[in-house]
Amino acid sequence: MKPFFLFLLLFAPFCVIAQENAEPALAAEEGKCFGLNFSLSGVNRYLWRGGKAYDGLALQPAVEASYGDFTLGNWNDVNLGDDENNGFAEADFYFSYDKALPCCEKLALSAGYNLYTYPVSYDVEEEAVDHEFSLGLAVDMVGSPYLTYFISPTDGMDGLQYQYLELGGSHDVELRENLNLSLAGTVGYAIPNEGDATATVIGLSISPVYSTVMEIAPIFFYQIPLGDDFESDFYAGLTVSYGLEF
């Protein structure tokens, strides 16, 4: 339990900053609309769940469509180095459904499916594919806390590769017109099919977000290891995004 207490201590300042200006993160909007968002990120390295997927410059384009409580998206990773893992390294596709509980609108449940594909890299002779399902609970309160459970079956769907728990939260602080400061924190716990379960890392990020016709958001992320198989690391980058609503 110590990693979770450490996370709460580190995340507490975010809640204090957010307390006076908090807005309902899960407030229901009247009616439904179709949304489309395009984004492009550039990072100095690619970190994922405490591991270093790629230690070099990478571009990460994405597109996401939403309608009401449904979201469908595609996220990609293109490594820009000169080693064997450069080029178009990853293409992920995801679908999710989020819904506030009728009995308590401050609680929302989510369910999702992720398809991870690795077309050309990571020393695989053929395209590698991973599947992942998720269930989550989010709370409409200061800090927007959430807990998500991920489960990954084997390729034949007849067994488990791993399970993963993620506890996190975030809040945006308005600095001035069109400029917010986005603060976020996560802590992970991995349960592999073979080997011991372990806490992974605490991840902390800070990102000033400038919104005009587009959103421009530099980001700095730092991870604190909680297990022997992980190490302190960071990445920095810039995201440019453009959204439409119909």
* pLDDT of the residue at 164: 97
Q: How far apart are CA 4 and CA 1, in angstroms?
A: 6
* pLDDT of the residue at 83: 77
DSSP assigned state of 84:
T
* pLDDT of the residue at 140: 95
In 3D space, the residue among 144, 145, 146, 195 whose CA is nearest the CA of residue 172 turns out to be: 144
Give me the residues of the chain with pLDDT under 50, please: 1-30
* pLDDT of the residue at 90: 93
Residue 70, both tokens: 């449904």
Model confidence over 123-153: pLDDT tens digits? 555 557 889 999 999 999 999 999 999 999 8
Domain map (residue ranges) of the chain: 2-21+34-240
Supply the CATH classification number for the domain 2-21+34-240: 2.40.230.20
* pLDDT of the residue at 69: 95
Residue 165, both tokens: 């728990």
130 in Cβ contact with 119 (< 8 Å): no
Beta strand 58-67 pairing with 179-192: unpaired
